[in-house]
A = this chain, B = another copy of it.
């Protein structure tokens, strides 16, 4: 693999750094907030707008696109980027998380789950759609699951995930992993982690068969739940993993299953071990506090549905914390969404207008709120990057946190 990552500058006394990830569709300047476009569309936001505000990359979901419209159709459309008219860098996740959290209950009895296997429950803090009764059937070879759309039966293996992600054509893809519940005990975390490592190797082998020219960068996903020694072991094993042809991972993802409270600690355990010269993606992180923590502890990219998801409920980010436009006081508030954030919606519309749109259930409400929130997060992380380059990360962090959380 050609060099795909360079560090520009480090945060003094921490693992964090500003850098550049090179992809066939351009450079991802890190740290970068990757905007989620689950079904090959960022809900309500035009790709041209994403480009204009310097969005670094879009992440789509393998599970969703496999089911609808099908990875073969996305491939015919030129891959997720061309399909959705986004010319910049793209990511796809492995499908593992959604298979376990969104797949419908497999069969009616838990006893249908193979003996010796523990049924997976979803990680409820990573998706509101998750329900504990949604189970997938897991075995050494892969996972069988039912579509959340029509209940049809499907099977993912590490090899299949690679083939689907090859069809989807993203620049950065992830090895197929098992995303465990934070409720799972150490014994199961070890069992799942060991399997994730075996699946990682199979993913790596299959990926290099599909992509000998190495157009796509493959990231392994570090698991291990909340257990320090498991996290460290997972990082070490994946960092050293190499195929018989000499292929290694191009970067690393850090999977869920830690509490938000100890996220920074868990990330630090892992990033102290992962090779410094490869990029690291923290999956599913969107709260500003968590982003600062993740950056400081050495993560380069992260993704989250929050900016557009909360926008659809009328919540917009401001410099002084989030506000919900359904609050009665905004009905006659003719000030901008946020005077300190020059997003197009904030410059051109008032809170009162957005409050009207949300109350009237007009599409333009979620559209404008989503545009604003995406701008806010892209700019926040771009500002964090600049603060690292300017050697003032800690000052910027304090300034931002003081305003945003108001001392909370």
A85 touching B349, Cβ below 8 Å:
yes
Q: How many residues of A contact B (CB 8 A)?
A: 33
Q: Which residue of chain B has the shortest Cβ distance to A347 in the bound complex?
A: B85
B359 touching A367, Cβ below 8 Å:
no
Question: For residue A331, which residues in chain B have a CB less than 8 angstroms away from its CB?
Answer: 69, 73
B43 touching A363, Cβ below 8 Å:
yes
Q: Which of A174-194 contact B (CB under 8 A)?
A: none
Q: Is A225 an interface residue (CB 8 A)?
A: no
B85 touching A348, Cβ below 8 Å:
yes
Question: For residue A359, which residues in chain B have a CB less than 8 angstroms away from its CB?
Answer: 68-69
Q: Is A20 an interface residue (CB 8 A)?
A: no
Q: Is A350 an interface residue (CB 8 A)?
A: yes
A353 contacts which of B43, B84, B360 (Cβ < 8 Å)?
A: B84
Q: Is A362 an interface residue (CB 8 A)?
A: yes
Question: For residue A286, which residues in chain B have a CB less than 8 angstroms away from its CB?
Answer: none
**How far, in whole Å, are A41 and B352 apart by their CA atoms in the complex?**
13
A362 contacts which of B43, B76, B350, B353 (Cβ < 8 Å)?
A: B43
Question: For residue A363, which residues in chain B have a CB less than 8 angstroms away from its CB?
Answer: 41, 43-44, 363, 366-367
B73 touching A350, Cβ below 8 Å:
no
B332 touching A76, Cβ below 8 Å:
yes
Q: Give chain B nearest CB distance to A305 CB in angstroms.
A: 14
A41 touching B362, Cβ below 8 Å:
yes
Q: Which residue of chain B has the shortest Cβ distance to A312 in the bound complex?
A: B363
A44 touching B356, Cβ below 8 Å:
no
Question: For residue A76, which residues in chain B have a CB less than 8 angstroms away from its CB?
Answer: 332, 334, 352
Q: Is A40 an interface residue (CB 8 A)?
A: yes
Question: For residue A350, which residues in chain B have a CB less than 8 angstroms away from its CB?
Answer: 77, 83
Report if A367-B44 is in contact (Cβ < 8 Å); known contacts: A39-B356, A356-B68: yes
Q: Which residue of chain B has the shortest Cβ distance to A361 in the bound complex?
A: B39
Question: For residue A367, which residues in chain B have a CB less than 8 angstroms away from its CB?
Answer: 44, 46, 363, 367
Q: Is A267 an interface residue (CB 8 A)?
A: no
**How far, in whole Å, are A363 and B45 apart by their CA atoms in the complex?**
9
Q: Is A14 an interface residue (CB 8 A)?
A: no
Q: Is A242 an interface residue (CB 8 A)?
A: no
**How far, in whole Å, are A76 and B353 apart by their CA atoms in the complex?**
11
A40 touching B356, Cβ below 8 Å:
yes
Question: For residue A263, which residues in chain B have a CB less than 8 angstroms away from its CB?
Answer: none
Question: For residue A83, which residues in chain B have a CB less than 8 angstroms away from its CB?
Answer: 350, 353, 356
Q: Is A138 an interface residue (CB 8 A)?
A: no
Report if A41-B334 is in contact (Cβ < 8 Å); known contacts: A69-B352, A73-B352: no
Question: For residue A357, which residues in chain B have a CB less than 8 angstroms away from its CB?
Answer: 39, 41
B352 touching A77, Cβ below 8 Å:
yes
Could you jot down 28 A-B contacts, CB within 8 Å? Answer: A39-B360, A40-B353, A40-B356, A41-B357, A41-B363, A41-B364, A43-B363, A44-B367, A46-B364, A68-B356, A68-B359, A69-B331, A69-B355, A69-B359, A69-B360, A73-B331, A73-B332, A73-B352, A76-B352, A77-B334, A77-B353, A83-B353, A83-B356, A84-B353, A85-B348, A85-B349, A85-B353, A363-B363
A contacts, CB < 8 Å to B: 39-41, 43-44, 46, 64, 68-69, 73, 76-77, 83-85, 331-332, 334, 348-350, 352-353, 355-357, 359-360, 362-364, 366-367
The 4 A-B pairs with the shortest beta carbon distances in the complex, nearest first, are A69-B356, A41-B364, A85-B348, A44-B363
